[in-house]
Structure 1
Amino acid sequence: MRTSLTDHTDLHAPRRDLTAPHARSGARRVRRLSATLGALLLCLTSTLAVAPPASASGQPRFDHYVALGDSYTSGPLIPLPKPTAPLGCARSTANYPTMLAAQLHLGSFRDVSCGGATTGDMTEPQRTPLGTNPPQLDALRPGTDLVTLGIGGNDEGVFGDIIGTCPGLRAQNPSGSPCRDHFTESGTDTLAEAVARTGKRAGAVLDEIAARSPHATVLVVGYPRITPAPGTGVTCPDVLPFADGDLAWADDIESSLNDALRTAAEHHGASFVDMYPASYGHDACAGPQAWIQGKHSNPLVAMSYHPNAAGMYGVATEIRRTLNAARAPTR
């Protein structure tokens, strides 16, 4: 999804007097909590780093991994930030590429994902509020042997249109689908059409990856569930403020995007990492089990409508499973 450092910030909230005793105490508590979270994440990274090697010989199965993608890959606001330029890409040390790299004991790893990236930013520079990210495919080398690609949600502004429009329309018809109606013109769902076009662009990106790194194992990473699975009757307007009918519609748009990405992978020599089965029951409405942050950004958890650390771990786990299935002997 397209992100910026000012997204979802309440500019009208009253300012607190940080010189007051209670404010100083609160600030100390925030610092202690930040330090605790940082220690836990460092512990997690250390644990992953001593996981069993990926091959029986004790050597890494892959030598050069490159992670490409948007904010569902970079992990904005998930503690702790990764100090790599440009800072506007908002990469986290707890995103799935970093976790996967630790699990696989890689010889070399580059994460060039960037919040707000589209398929076009794979071959063109991307400007962010804090610097310009070079074309992501420039990180590829002939010797690159593992590539993950998580892209498509920002193309033609699909995800941004949904989260930027649907909450504001809920009051019109809380049990209906005012957002779907908003994006339907002459009987045509404009976002569904945009998603279909995205699949073709993703295919072109995969062709370019194959040309630059012809020996790489390439995985297209699907998007995890944001909304509850249709038919469950689950809603959570305080967390995910969509009209009831729009929850199912948004799920259909995301499912269609994942289907388009799966088709692109199948037709262009890549594997697809299907996050929908794994993320069942981990949508934004799932409370403590949620892999997706709700409508409010939390600088100690994740940006609104984006994966948290648990969600990133879930994605890394599914990528690992996909790789293991691909190398399993056939009978």
Structure 2
Amino acid sequence: MSDLLEIDRLKVYFDTREGTVKAVDDVSLRVRRGETVCIVGESGCGKSITAMSIMGLVGSNAAAGPFVDGQIRFDGRNLLRLDRNELRTIRGREIAMIFQEPMTSLNPVLPIGEQIMEPLIEHLKLSRKAARARAIELIRKVGISRPEQIAKSYPHELSGGMLQRIMIAIAISCNPKLLIADEPTTALDVTIQAQILDMMRQFKADSNMSILLITHDLGVVAEMADYVVVMYSGKVVEEGEVVELFTNPKHPYTRGLLKSKPVINRRQDELYSIPGQVPNPLELRPSCYFHERCERCMDVCRTREPRLREVGDNGKVACWLYEEAVVHA
């Protein structure tokens, strides 16, 4: 499979009164055509900022943004070099995004139907009549009954699960090549979560769409991913194919994440939690950022930053445990 999206050494830095926050620091990843890639990690590790950078919602193309450097190549084009108008032709048409909170992502004063119609009119140049018919069809396609009535409803009149389905309807309305889903099952009950994930899988199968899925739920990762990228404090610490990563995790942080997940049919009085806290982004120094929480920390971890290196057939890890010259020194 060829690459649809390739992020190369992306940096997103925010200047604050206290100092510079490196929200995304030298991140590289790729999404192949027809592939589902999951980005996983704790809150604040840079997952959503990476996604928003792809959409042009931070940096020089945003109304006001941070320092952004690197390359984001989508279908041969560097998105960071496009102007606002060029990005508008891609957003919603070729790249669509499901945001984390549907209630705050939808316009509260516009009917649902109007919001689904907007990208159809803007990108596909449909007439209002054709766009309304297509909007009703999309509402039905995402599993909501009474689509004609729902199209006339406002966001506050629908449940969280219905709103997330509407967000999916908007995202797939123009048959995008890449769907970015930022925590699409947050705050939904498990039954609705399963329905949402099944729906995304079906749309992917129908159109050979690629998915970049952002989550902290390892159950969702195991169910959806072909390839997994693990982030910590703005950096990629491990990546690999989903089966290999779950059966043979290499980075101590990845092992900690997997260890903290409850196991069916195993009684546990207390769930495991990774000791310590995520480091303050304003106080990061050259080191492995995970060293204060790592059970296998070495002296070199405190003073030098490990590089992301290839391990095995199709995986990478940034950990001094895999630098033979250091381990055997």
Same fold (TM over 0.5): no
Q: Which has the larger radius of gyration?
A: 2
Q: Tell me the TM-score normalized by structure 1.
A: 0.29
Q: Tell me the TM-score normalized by structure 2.
A: 0.29
